[in-house]
Structure 1
Amino acid sequence: MNALLAIAKPGFPDRSQCQGQDHGNEQREEIFDKKRSVRLRHVEYLLKAPLLARHYHAIEPKAGSAIRRPPRPGEPFRTRKDKFVSPRPFGRRRDMHRRAFLASTLAATFVPQSLVAQSTEKIRRIGWVTAQTAASLAPYVEAFRQGLSERGYTEGRNLAIEYRYGEGIDGRVPELVRELVRLQVDLIVAQGTAAFELPPLDLPVVFVISADPVSSGFADSLAKPRGNKSGLTLMAIELMGKRLDLLKDMMPKLRRVAFIGNPEHPGAHLERGASEETGRQLGLTIDYFPTETREKLAAALAAMADDPPQAVSILADGFAVQNRQAIIDFAMSKHIPAISGWPIFAQSGALFTYGPKVADSYRRLAYYVDRVFKGARPADLPIEQPTTFEFVINMRTAKALDIAISPSLLMRADRVIE
């Protein structure tokens, strides 16, 4: 301690130096104690001043006033309350840093955790591909997006969807899929016939098709999908007979019905077989017209024009959806009703439709996407069939064709187009 005091304040004698002077013992002790006290206070100042400067605000001198000095040895230290003046000239700068640190800490404390999670949440990328036009699928795409939103996926936050439409041009799907792969999507959603045109892929595929998945080669059974594909089918064979029953109720004198369908559509043979079986039970003659191309469709309409049937039943698939207006306009020109399975046909002028709620199926598609994103393999996800159905009657068409719809049928309808 004596060495520290000597270094801290040179010129002040220590006890050994005082002993050699001509003073009495008491006087020597008193002089030493006083000088020792002064030196201790000075050391205390040297030790405490840097710490105090960190915790108290320095008071800047007013303009024109003399610069304040640090306290001298022997002067008491004063706190902020007593307007303590820091002996360090940079005390105010450190105080400003301290204020900024406290402000940033408080701000981080009160930031909503949802915003923090959003900033670090992984963005999933979906590649949507179809051979159809954007306009024809707009309500179903919206239903799919709603399903994703219900499961916590929001475009722009944790989800990005790349849409590719074939616009009805044959052979475009493989090119569109390769483009999606280059964009490094995490998953492919294949709509309709695009599911049958996919090039070999390592990515998981979720599909929604109107075909039979077993006949398509996508599965050994609905419970056992093959490879990296799974999803939904809109085909419900048992509804074919139900539609003919409803048509017979509306037209008791019905005897002959023409069926228009694409023979290349997987499962079309099942729909045709079910329709012919129900027709025999109802005493109806079923005329089948294969229409896999526009040329075949034009030929079928020309044949029906020469010998018109009493009604036309349209087997719903991608080709029929794209050409539905031509078929329905032809039927109306011959004063005969057209029926089908999907509501979009009734909205386009068909007498009625009875089949799956297609929008619900597209909303359900989000379930498969969510499961794959969470680590499930498509092969472990059974293929689902529709579980909700819809009966839509177009009363404008019924009135134009002079077909009376009984009140009981109107009561059973889920929707009536006036």
Structure 2
Amino acid sequence: MTERSAPARAMPAVGRRDFIRLAGATAAGWLALGAAADRMRVVASITGLPLDDELTRRNMTDTTTSRLGGLIGGLKQRGWVEGVNIRFEVRSSFGAPAKLQAAIRELLDLKPDVILTSSTIETAAVMAATTTIPIVFATANDPVGNRFVASLAHPGGNVTGFTSSTAEMGGKWLQLIEEAVPGLTRVGILFNPATTPRAGRFFLDSIEQEAAASGMTVEAVPVDSAADIDAAISRFSNPPRAAMIALVDSFLVINRQAVVAAAARYRVPMIYPFHYFVDAGGLMSYGPTLEVRAADYVDLILRGTRAGDLPVQSPRKYELIINRTVASSLGLKLPFTLLARADEIRE
């Protein structure tokens, strides 16, 4: 177990186009590593977050721990250098549904060699637009159930990528929040049916099974707009003792500040699937450790490997993060057995 303070503020945003330049090497030096020099390759990326979102800015910095920075650094090690033999293009689909289609059209017009997607929604939309350009999803739940791939071992088609959670995670979230909140009798499950896997059922089944075994009452709390978040969470501020679980959901990630603020305002303990929510002031999270592994696949695809021949990879490690200061503000005295299992405790 390690104890660390919250991470430092993200680096400021950089330009929309050609936003990261990795310098310090000549073209000849990097081409010696074996990357093709016949033409400039285009790696396109689409995200559901606004480009000025703090999480987007963090992912677009040139550090190896950021998603895009790690990708660029990993490709650089393999001989692909921004501005020399590869170019990165990023578009945001944030906004009305038409914005998603417009962003995809912009990227397709660039004739990219590979497209990286950030969520289930973007992956489905890009797949509907092309069956030939290789697609690598950075995070996806239930890629087989969503018909992104034929199987995890043999995806087929033009798509592969990385999963972020299994259905059994739902039951694990319930166990953890029950351990953190003594006397807990009911739990609300917050999600947007339009943006969470199988409209919520992907995780709800295991949550309900765990609840039945422990005598807990579980209530699904669907929301479909940011304006619904406050009222949805306020319902769990009254007796009997209640808590909430936020599902894996791109809508909730985009609106994480509003979710965390409402949970604090109404003093509702909530567990989240990603550390992004704890970064915003949330109580605790349990989810996959961020590993930037896309460079391996993008490199292979740029060298001619079919995306469908690359197996979908699952997380190799999960992490439990707890903010003890937030717990104290909610009147929670967390048991030592829970704290001892935490990978990170924030004060």
TM-score by length of 2: 0.79
Distance 2:85 2:28 in 1: 16
Distance 1:308 1:401 in 2: 15
Distance 1:298 1:403 in 2: 22
Whether the 8 Å CA contact 1:258–1:309 is kept in 2: the answer is: no
Deviations 1:85-114 (A, max 9, x none): xxxxxxxxxxxxxxxxxxxxxxxxxx9963
DSSP-derived class of the 1:171 partner: helix
Amino acid corresponding to residue 197 of structure 1 in structure 2: A
DSSP-derived class of the 1:148 partner: helix
Deviations 1:26-47 (A, max 9, x none): xxxxxxxxxxxxxxxxxxxxxx
The CA deviation at 1:367 is 1.9
DSSP-derived class of the 2:129 partner: coil
Amino acid corresponding to residue 244 of structure 1 in structure 2: L
Whether the 8 Å CA contact 1:210–1:317 is kept in 2: the answer is: no
The CA deviation at 1:288 is 0.5
The CA deviation at 1:346 is 1.1
Q: For the structure 1 residues 258 and 113, does the alpha-carbon distance in structure 2 shift closer, same or farther, using more than 3 Å as the test?
A: closer
Q: Choose from 227, 239, 254 the match for 2:184.
A: 254
Deviations 1:218-248 (A, max 9, x none): 1232223242111112122222222222222
Q: For the structure 1 residues 120 and 203, does the alpha-carbon distance in structure 2 shift closer, same or farther, using more than 3 Å as the test?
A: closer
Q: Choose from 335, 338, 345 the match for 1:406.
A: 335
Q: Choose from 249, 259, 271 the match for 1:327.
A: 259
Q: Any residues of structure 2 matched to 1:8-23 within 5 Å, and which?
A: none
Q: For the structure 1 residues 295 and 116, does the alpha-carbon distance in structure 2 shift closer, same or farther, using more than 3 Å as the test?
A: closer
Amino acid corresponding to residue 234 of structure 1 in structure 2: S
In structure 2, the residue matched to 1:216 is: 146
Whether the 8 Å CA contact 2:174–2:211 is kept in 1: the answer is: yes
Q: How many residues align?
A: 305
Q: Any residues of structure 2 matched to 1:35-184 within 5 Å, and which?
A: 114=29, 117=32, 121-122=37-38, 123-134=40-51, 135=53, 136-137=55-56, 138-139=58-59, 140-184=67-111
The CA deviation at 1:412 is 2.2
The CA deviation at 1:307 is 7.2
Unmatched 5+ residue regions in structure 2?
1-25, 60-66
Distance 1:338 1:112 in 2: 50
Whether the 8 Å CA contact 1:131–1:172 is kept in 2: the answer is: no
In structure 1, the residue matched to 2:122 is: 194
Give the structure, 1 or 2, with the largest relative contact order (CA under 8 Å, sep 6 or more).
Answer: 2
In structure 2, the residue matched to 1:70 is: none
Whether the 8 Å CA contact 2:229–2:258 is kept in 1: the answer is: no
Whether the 8 Å CA contact 2:230–2:262 is kept in 1: the answer is: no
Whether the 8 Å CA contact 2:237–2:268 is kept in 1: the answer is: no
Unmatched 5+ residue regions in structure 1?
1-110
Distance 1:402 1:263 in 2: 32
Q: For the structure 1 residues 120 and 388, does the alpha-carbon distance in structure 2 shift closer, same or farther, using more than 3 Å as the test?
A: closer
Q: Mean alpha-carbon deviation: is it higher for 282-291 or for 139-148? A: 139-148
Whether the 8 Å CA contact 2:236–2:243 is kept in 1: the answer is: no
TM-score by length of 1: 0.67
Percent of residue pairs bearing the same amino acid type: 30
In structure 2, the residue matched to 1:72 is: none
Root-mean-square deviation over aligned CA pairs: 2.6
Structure showing the higher helix proportion among its residues: 1
Distance 2:28 2:222 in 1: 59
The CA deviation at 1:403 is 1.1
